[in-house]
Structure formats: C-alpha cells, structure tokens
Chain A
Amino acid sequence: MTAAHTQPGASAANKGAWEPEIIAFCCNYCAYAAADLAGAQRMQYPPNVRVVHSPCTGKIEMEHILAALEKGIDGVLVAGCLEGGCHFIEGNLRAKHRVEHIRGILDEIGIGADRLRMVNLSAAMAPTFVERVREIVDTVTNLGPNPLKESAQQGVVSK
C-alpha cells in the first residue's frame, strides 16, 4: 500500500478524467515482499494499483476476484511466487488454473480476459513487479472503464 500512496498527484492532476482502478492480490511471501521492496527502493509506478494482502495465491478465491470486478474495479492482478517456488508448495499453480478459468468467464461475459492477469515473482523482483503493474495499467487504460462500473455506482450490482 505504501507503494500506491507514494504518487498521489496523478489522480488529483487529472481530476475528472478516467483513471483505471487496479487491485493487486499479492501473496505474502513473494509478491507482497516484492511490492514492499519496490516501495523501499522508491521505485516509481502508477498509483492506480491497490494491493490486497493474501497468505498465498492459492487462497485467492474466485468469488473475491469476481466481486472486485463487480464492484467496478477495472483490472485485477494476481501476483504470486515463481512457479515451483511457492511457499506453500503448489498454491500458485492452483491460482494459475483458477485465473485461467476466470479469464475464460470474463471473455464470455464481455468484460475481457485481459483485465485479469497472473504474474509470478520472487521476493527480490521489485523491478519486475513495477513493470507488470505498468503493463496492466496500460492494458486496462486501452480497454477503457469496466462496463460494470456504472451499474456498480448506481447500485444495480450489489456491493
């Protein structure tokens, strides 16, 4: 979270214009540590990302990812350990399957598979984390706002 709040100017400067909102589900042992390292190293990356802490990507439930999108989040990043390097042995592999499955669903319902992405990092790979964040912000910016955002704000889709 520290990383997200290091650059508060972006949204204030472009007030009124649309900026994508991204949720990054980060596992405790790799991705979260990498994000923390990025912050400690004062690395710059877009402030559109908010980090949600999770013990393992294996714990990131399909319902929570879909709930985030339902609430109007424009993009979701699932960040776990490198394959074979999961602290909990194979949680990230299950997360990979789960993400692929959800991407299929997102395509099917017209939201677009690209709004969801799984990345694998080690705790030392802060630059990779920054890069991946930039990539998804670009991707989502190109895709435009989440079509559910409006209805979420109007309360059509329950929070």
Chain B
Amino acid sequence: MCTLSPKLVECARNKNIDIITLADVEGISGEPGNFQVAISRRPRYVEARKCNTCGDCVEACPVSLPNEFDRAIGTRKAIFRPYPQAIPNLYGISKAGSPAPCKAACPAGVNAQGYVALIAQGEFKEAYDLIFERCPLPAVCGRVCQHPCQSECNRKDIDEGVSVRDLKRFAADYVYAHRDEFKGAPAAPAEQQKEKVAVIGGGPAGLTAAVDLRRMGYAVTVFEARPLMGGMLRYGIPRYRLAAEVLDQEIKNILDLGIEARTGSRVEKSETLLKPKTNGGSAGGEKFDAVFVAIGAWTTKKLGIPGEDAPQVLPGLKFLHDVNVGGKPAIGPNVLVIGGGDVAVDAARCARRLSGVKAVRLASLEKPGEMPAHSSEAAEALEEGVEFHNGWGPTKVLTDGGTVTGVEFRACTRVFDENRCFSPQFDDAKTTTVRADTVIVTIGQGIDTSTLGTVTTGPGGRVAADKETLATSIAGIFAGGDVVRPSDNQHPKSIALVQCVGSRDTARNAGYCSSICCMSATKEAMVALEHAPGAEISIFCMDIRAFGKEFDQYVNRARDEHKVKYIRAMPSRLVEIPGSKNLRVRYFDENGEEQQKEFDLVVLSVGLRPSAGVRETAERLGLALNEFGFCRTDRLAPVATSRPGIYVAGAFQEPKDIPESVAQASGAAACAMEQLASVRGNLIQRRDYPWERDVTDEDPRRCVACATCVKVCPYGAPMINDLQKAEIQGAKCMGCGSCVAVCPRRAITLRHQEDAQVLAMLDELLVADGGL
C-alpha cells in the first residue's frame, strides 16, 4: 500500500488520466497512434457522481461477506470500498454470486424482484413483459405456482414474504383486462432461422420451449396428444384453482407468436419426426431438424399392496383428468385419498366437491407439518372438510367380492432418515383400518417412456456446474496474528520454506524465474519470527536472487541477525510423518549427500502463473503469448508486445515485484508517448490559472488591502481591485510617493526612489566625501 497509494492518488488527481473501473477490454482496433478500444463496464450499483464516500451505507448494510482484500480472513459489507485508500474513492455493491433469493428460488428464473419493483412503480405492462421473458404463462403461474420465491423472500425474516405470486397474477390480469391500452405483442424474433423444431407435448414445458425457440427465430410445431393444449394445466390442475378461460387466454397468446399447434396428434416415436441425417433416407411425412420431448409425467405410481387392482382404486391423475374434462367419475360416498402431495390434496378437494360424496379422507405417511403438499392448500382442504389421517402407511386394500370396503394401515414411525432422504419405517404392531368405497392413489408420478423410443436418457438433473475451487485459505497464512499450521492449528517450532516450486523447472514447462519469491520468502520468514519467536526457519533454495535496491542487505540481515538458514538444495521429497503430522524433507546437500530433516510446517514458494483471464484478454487484444503464457516481448524491447502500439508493464510480461512494475510502466508510458509525439498536448486539459494583471508598482504578496494608500492619496490613484490587492491607477497618480511612505507592508514603490536607490545614494555621498 505504501508504495502503491501515492501513485494511485497521483493518477486520480491528474486531469488527463481517466480511470475506468469495473471494465473489461473487449477488443482493440486501429493502428499505432490511433486505437479504438471497446470496453464493457460492469455496474457499480452506486452512482459515482453522487457518492461522497461518507460510509453511512456500510453502517446500514445487513450483508457481511468475506473481505477479498484481507484474503477472506476478515469480513466486509455487501456495499463496500475495497480498502480505505481505494481510487476512485467510491463505494460499490457486490451482488451475491446468485441473484436475489426470489429469483434464485424460481425454477423458471423469473426476475421476481424486478417485476415487483416495476409493479410498485405502476409499470404494469413492463412488469408483465419482464415476467413473459422467462415465463410465457404469467396468469397461470400467478394462480397455481408453488411460489418458492415467496418462501425465500428476505422479508420473511421481518414478517412474511412479499406476495410475489399474487403480484404476478395481478400484473397478468391487469394487462389482459386493459388489452386495448397495451397494443402489440411481445417483440417478434429478430432473425428467422431456417431450421424447424418439433415439440412433443402441449403442456407448460412444451409451451415454454416453443416460445423460447420461436423467439430465437425457429419455426415451431407443437404436437399434443389430447384434444386441447395445456397438458397438466388443463387436465391435472382442478378448475377451482385455474379457470379454463385464463389458460385459454395464455395459450392463445403463445400461439399468436406464430407457433403451430397440432392437437389430438399423438407422436408414437419421437425420432420419426427427425430428418434423416443422410440424404439417402426417404423422407416420409413432415420432418424436423430437432425434437423437444415434453411429454410430462402422466402415469401414477402403484402402491404395490394386495387388492390394488380393484376397479374402485383409481390413479389420482386419471381421476383429476376425468373431473377436468367434465365427466363424473364413478366414485362412492366414502373416498380415501392416499398420498401427501399436492396432487393428493387436489384430488381430495375435487372429490369433496363432487355430488354424492359424503366423506373424503386423506391418508399420508407424513406427519401434518411434513406433508409435501403446500401448507395453504392442505389448510384449505381441512377447512372444506377433508379428514386427514397422518402418519399411516397402507398395507392392504380390503375388498369384499371385488368391491373395495376399506384400506388397512400400519403406523409410520419416520419418513425421512437423518440425511433427509425418503426412507420410511413402520411399526407393524400398530394398525388401523379406514373405511372407503373408492380409493384414489396419488403417491407420485412416472413418465411414459414409450414415446422416448431409442433416445437414451441422461441424468435427470442439470449438468452439475463445476464447483468453484477458489481456495479460501492458503497454507501457511498467518491467521489472527498467530503462526499456526493449517492441519491442526499447532504452533510450529520449525518451518521450512521451499523455493522454486513450479518455477525454474523446465520439466513443468516453467523455466522462468518467479522473481518475487526469494524476497517474499525472506520477508515471510522474518514476519514469522516476529509472531513465533524462536522458531527455526530454513529456506531451501537454488540461489537467492536479491537484485533490488538494498535487497541483499535484507537477506543478510535475515541470515545473520535472525538466523534464518538458507540451505542450497532442492528437496526431492516431502513426506508427512504419521502421528505427529510433521513433514520430513529429503534433499541432497552441496556435497551430494542425502539429508533428511523434519519440520513442523512447510511453506511452498509456488511460482507465479499468468492469471486466469490473461489468455482471453490477450486473444481479445491480439497479443502473442510466450510459451509460459505471459505476454511475449522482445529482449531488446521489453515493453513492446507483438502488436505495434500496444505496450505491456507489470506481471503480465513476467513475474516481477511492484518497484520493477512501476519502472516498467514508466517505460511503457514513454513508448506510448513516442507514438503521440506529433500531436502532443492536443487533447489534454490544462489547469486554469487566475487571470493575469500588471503588478509593476506593487508587490501583490505584500499588499493586504489595508487601504492606507487609498486614504492617503490626494488624487484617488490607489484602489482595491477584484483580487483584493491595491492597484495604482497610473493615469491618476501624480508621483508624490505619499503612499510609498505610509504603506505599512512596504508594498508600493516609486520609480527612481526605490529603497535600494535611496540607500545607494546615501552610501555614495559618504564615500564621495573621501572619509570625512
């Protein structure tokens, strides 16, 4: 910091240096002396013009994050300044790696906080458009969504989550109700693609995919087996939760984008729709370049218990389907629903609404609070008179002559194991029987894989993103002012620092010297001794390259005064000793004899590598890299890159410390100025200096504008001017010199009667007299 900060301040104060922060250079075009640089800037989330760095925001910010500036040892707030001397001295907000909790929770990634904010400002159409970007069924989702956004809302810590779902419903309903005001469908695709895509399934997944593909410019055809579009929305979700008109409206919106829908056309094998890869195949019927299979999960899992095949045992989805298409399923007055999910509750509530049904009971493995069904749905079901039997697992469907009479249950002691995995356990001794004429089974759904044909199914989930491997702790770092080893937090008595690990090592394509490690290791050793006095420190090195100003004396001090041992050897092996967790270092000494030494802690001076983004940056700028990935420069022109007019400084060229980087940067700046020599001084801003005036008769630094001269002068010649200095107006001055004699600051002179002249005259008169 002490080396860097003054440079930063100097840069910031210079009128002719623009500091562009949060910027990525996207590319450079042009030739030396006339480059165009494309820059993309990331948002600061704080208006730089208004921020005066008072720091009140930091006090108010509730979010603490690891402080990168402290190597994540300390914490900072989400609104922060990287460090107190930061230039520009402004705050910024680091948005958490994930988006807002509501947006992160949304499976469709709808920008929930965005449309809530827009609705708050009365921008309903904009809110609707924002939702539509990610979710083409806003009104539907506004009614039936499970709204994980609401459950994750930060507001829940204060009272309860923002009603995100209802707001979405409102935005959609408002826009549909005021259709005349909001003319124009969502923007048409920018560029038409020639490929055609088939989507199998007209449910929410198929419709969303169709919209996304259509927006990208592909011609989309949706195949729906059932007579109407909507899939589970139409045939699964009960009408009392989602009115058919709302669904029709939204499906119409989607199809209006130019999507073809073929209802009642079941696709038997998805690959029959695909174009043959070679031209040899005969094209029978319509063919597509790609097929998206969104066939939903329409089969109901079976209980796997005796008596299940009785005709009065209905699969839940079939029951819901029948209710939704308007038919009256044949069910008795006593209905038993088995299952604890949303489908179970939907089925139970649907059954409750059917005429002739006297009692609806719902049996689930889970305890009341554990049921996967949404709590509000369950509560409403309870209100409507559905009887809940929690904590029971079915063992047998009781039948009498092929007619169901009831279901036998045993007690469920637990549903989930310690790892929150589904693993029910039962108590066989405790049983009960529930009377029922009709049993509806809703214990989960499956996929009818027949349509998939020979398509191999991959893992169901997303491709797992690579875990971030950013190490938050570094071996050998001094935590909390103490030297401890990371493995067991013991205070080490003997420490080894091994130099040139991964540098000056041609076997690892790292033949270059890492440059800073010799001095860093020496400094670390001295600092470690400050924190752990008496520790024995050895530095294993090929040689010590202490080439900076007074670096050599520093190393000598470490060796002579602090007894740091420099051992000229490259350790060949490092083995942890079981038990003590100490490390044994094996090396060959200068005489070629094998030595072994035990240390409590070993610190590796790992050679610097080009930083991760260097290759990409270099590619964007068109700079050649050397074999190690650093910028390629010529031995005789160490700041010139392979591209004329672009110069390099600092560790991008090769590993180097700060003073060397600064020196090289001066060189690079000088080279850059060479290119600009012909137009030097053209585009710079100069400092504005005060207006100049004639100060012949006064000394401006002496005058204090006491106005004595103004009072004395009989002619009004002196005046106090705009600069708060006395100014003699020559035209008025008669030259009497009165002002000269009265000026308390002796700031006024009279020509030919100046002090020096009068005194010289006096001297001359004395001397001319020949020593009177």
Residues on A close to B: CB < 8 A? 11, 19, 21, 23, 50, 52, 54-56, 58-64, 67-68, 71-73, 87-91, 94, 98, 159
Query: A56–B772 Cα gap in the complex (Å)?
Result: 29
Residues in A with CB closer than 8 Å to B736 are 55-56, 58-59, 87-88, 91
Q: Quick one: which of B714, B758, B762 contacts A90, CB cutoff 8 A?
A: B714
10 A-B pairs with CB atoms under 8 Å apart are A50-B769, A52-B761, A55-B735, A58-B736, A61-B755, A64-B758, A67-B759, A71-B762, A88-B714, A88-B738
Q: Is the CB of A52 within 8 A of B753?
A: no
Contact with A along B755-772 (1 / 0, CB 8 A): 100110111011001101
Give me 6 other A-B pairs in contact (C-beta within 8 A), A19-B772, A50-B765 excluded. Answer: A54-B753, A61-B740, A62-B741, A63-B755, A68-B762, A94-B741
Instruction: Please measure, in the bound complex, the distance between the C-alpha atom of A72 and the C-alpha atom of B736, giving whole angstroms.
Output: 28
Q: State in angstroms the CA–CA spacing of A89 and B717 once bound together.
A: 15
In the complex, what distance in Å separates the CA atom of A159 from the CA atom of B759?
9
Q: Are A59 and B762 in contact (CB under 8 A)?
A: no
B772 partner residues in chain A, CB cutoff 8 A: 11, 19, 21
Residue-wise interface mask of B (718-736) relative to A, using a CB-CB cutoff of 8 A (1 in contact, 0 not): 0000000000000000111
Q: A55-B736, A90-B714 are in contact. Are A71 and B766 (CB under 8 A)?
A: yes
B738 and A67 within 8 A (CB): no
Sorting the interface of chain B by its residue count into under 10, 10 to 19, 20 to 34 or 35 or more gives: 20 to 34
* Alpha-carbon gap, A90 to B737, bound state (A): 12
Q: Closest chain B residue to A27 by CB distance?
A: B736
Is A159 touching B738 in the complex (CB atoms < 8 A)?
A: no
Roughly how many angstroms separate A83 CA and B512 CA in the complex, as a whole number? 96
Cross-chain contact of B763 among A11, A19, A55, A159 (Cβ < 8 A): A159
CB of B750 within 8 A of CB of A59, answer: yes
Which of B737, B758, B766 has a CB less than 8 Å from the CB of A56? B737
Partner of A64, one of B742, B762, B765, B770: B762
- Distance A11 CA – B768 CA, assembled complex (angstroms): 13
Asked whether B761 lies within 8 Å of A55 as measured between CB atoms, the reply is no
Which residues of A are found within 8 Å of B762, using beta-carbon distances? 23, 52, 64, 67-68, 71, 73
Q: Which of A21, A56, A72 is B738 in contact with, Cβ under 8 Å?
A: A56
Known A-B contacts A11-B769, A21-B772, A23-B762; the reply to A60 vs B735 at CB < 8 A is no
Q: B759, A98: Cβ atoms under 8 Å?
A: no
Q: Are B765 and A52 in contact (CB under 8 A)?
A: yes
**Contacts from B to A (Cβ < 8 Å):** 712, 714, 734-738, 740-742, 750, 753, 755, 758-759, 761-763, 765-766, 769-770, 772
Q: Are A58 and B737 in contact (CB under 8 A)?
A: yes
Cα–Cα, bound, A55→B765 (Å): 19
Q: CA A144 – CA B12 in complex, angstroms?
A: 72
The 6 A-B residue pairs with the shortest CB-CB distance in the complex, in nearest-first order:
A59-B737, A88-B736, A58-B738, A50-B765, A56-B736, A89-B714
Q: Which of A55, A73, A88, A98 contacts B753 (CB 8 A)?
A: A55
Rounded to whole Å, the gap between the CB of B379 and the closest CB of chain A is: 103
Which A residue's beta carbon lies closest to that of B734?
A88
Taking the closest CB of chain B, its distance from the CB of A126, in whole angstroms, is 22
Cβ of A158 to closest chain B Cβ, rounded Å: 11
* Bound CA–CA A56/B762 (angstroms): 17
CA distance A146 to B763 in the complex (A): 16
In the complex, which of the residues A19, A54, A73 has the most CB atoms of chain B within 10 Å of its own CB atom? A54
A72 / chain B contacts, CB cutoff of 8 Å: 766
CA of A142 to CA of B426, assembled, Å: 140
A23 with B712, Cβ < 8 A, contacts A52-B758, A55-B750, A58-B741 known: no
The distance in angstroms between the C-alpha atoms of A56 and B712, with both chains bound, is 14
A52 to chain B, nearest CB (A): 6
Given the complex, which residues of A lie within 8 Å of B740, measured CB to CB? 59, 61
Q: Which residues of B contact A58 (CB under 8 A)?
A: 736-738, 741
Q: Please name the residue on chain A nearest to B760 by beta carbon.
A: A159
Q: Using CB atoms, name the residue of chain B closest to A11.
A: B772
Cβ contact within 8 Å between A55 and B737: yes
Residues of B within 8 A of A91 (CB): 736, 738
Query: How far is B772's CA from A11's CA once the two chains are assembled, in angstroms?
Result: 8
Instruction: Please report the C-alpha to C-alpha distance between residue A58 and residue B748 in the assembled complex, in whole angstroms.
Output: 14
Residue from B735, B741, B758, B763 whose CB has the most chain A CB atoms within 10 Å: B741
B766 touches A73 (CB 8 A): yes
Provide the bound-state CA to CA distance between A54 and B737, in Å.
9
Judging by beta carbons under 8 Å apart, are B714 and A61 in contact? no
Q: How far is the CA of A19 from the CA of B742 in the complex (A)?
A: 34
Closest to A52 in B: B761
Which residues of the other chain, B, contact A50 by a CB distance below 8 angstroms? 765, 769
Q: Cβ of B738: which chain A residues have Cβ within 8 Å of it?
A: 56, 58-59, 88, 91, 94
Contacts of A90 in B (CB 8 A): 714
Q: State the CA gap A55–B749 with chains docked (Å).
A: 13
- Cα A32 to Cα B98 in complex, Å, equals 97
A61 to B742: give the CA distance in the assembly, Å: 8
CA distance A90 to B753 in the complex (A): 19
CB distance from B310 to the nearest CB of A (A): 130
Residue of A nearest to B758 (CB): A64
Q: Which of B753, B759, B763 contacts A59 (CB 8 A)?
A: B753
Closest beta carbon of chain A to B257's beta carbon, Å: 98
A114 to B31, CA, bound (A): 88
With both beta carbons as reference points, the residue of chain A lying nearest to B755 in the complex is identified as: A63
**What are the residues of chain B within 8 A of A68 when measuring CB–CB?**
762
B734 adjacent to A60 (CB under 8 Å): no
**Would you give the shortest CB distance from B642 to chain A, in whole angstroms?**
71
What are the residues of chain A within 8 A of B737 when measuring CB–CB? 54-56, 58-59
- A71 CA to B758 CA in the complex, in Å? 13
Given contacts A55-B735, A55-B753, contact A61 B769 (CB under 8 A): no
How far, in Å, is A37 (CB) from chain B's closest CB?
21
Contact A59 B741 (CB under 8 A): yes
Name the residue of chain B whose CB is nearest to the CB of A20.
Answer: B772
Chain A positions within 8 Å of B741 at CB level: 58-62, 94, 98
Bound Cα distance A68, B735 (Å): 23
A113 to nearest B CB, angstroms?
20
Does B766 contact A21, Cβ atoms closer than 8 Å?
Answer: yes
Q: How far is the CA of A89 from the CA of B769 in the complex (A)?
A: 36
Residues from chain A with Cβ under 8 Å of B758 in the complex: 52, 61, 64, 67
Complex CA–CA separation, A21 to B763 (angstroms): 12
B755 partner residues in chain A, CB cutoff 8 A: 61, 63-64
CA distance in complex: A60, B742 (Å): 10
Q: What distance in Å separates the Cβ of B755 from its nearest Cβ neighbour in chain A?
A: 7
For B740, give the chain A residue with the smallest CB separation. Answer: A59
Give, as a whole number of angstroms, the nearest-CB distance from B302 to chain A. 120
Measured CB to CB, the closest approach of chain A to B749, in angstroms, equals 11
> Which partner residue on chain A sits nearest B752 by CB separation?
A55
Chain A residue with Cβ nearest B765: A50
How far apart are B628's CB and chain A's nearest CB, in angstroms? 73
B40 to chain A, nearest CB (A): 71
Q: Report chain A residues within 8 Å CB of B735.
A: 55
Q: Closest approach, in angstroms, between the C-beta of B700 and any C-beta of chain A?
A: 21
How many whole Å from A22's CB to the nearest CB in chain B? 10
Bound Cα distance from A144 to B758, whole angstroms = 26
CB-CB under 8 A from B763, the residues of chain A are 71, 159
Using Cβ atoms and an 8 Å threshold, which residues of chain A touch B753?
54-55, 59
Q: How far is the CA of A46 from the CA of B102 in the complex (A)?
A: 112
Most A CB contacts (10 A, CB to CB) among B714, B734, B740, B762 go to: B762
Distance to closest chain B CB from A129 (angstroms): 18
Closest to A1 in B: B765
The residue among B714, B761, B766, B769 with the most chain A CB atoms within 10 A of its own CB is B766
CB distance from A54 to the nearest CB of B (A): 7
Chain A residues contacting B742 (CB-CB under 8 Å) are 94
CA distance A73 to B762 in the complex (A): 9
Q: Across the two chains, which residue of chain A brings its CB closest to B764? A: A50
Contact in complex: B714, A23 (CB < 8 Å): no
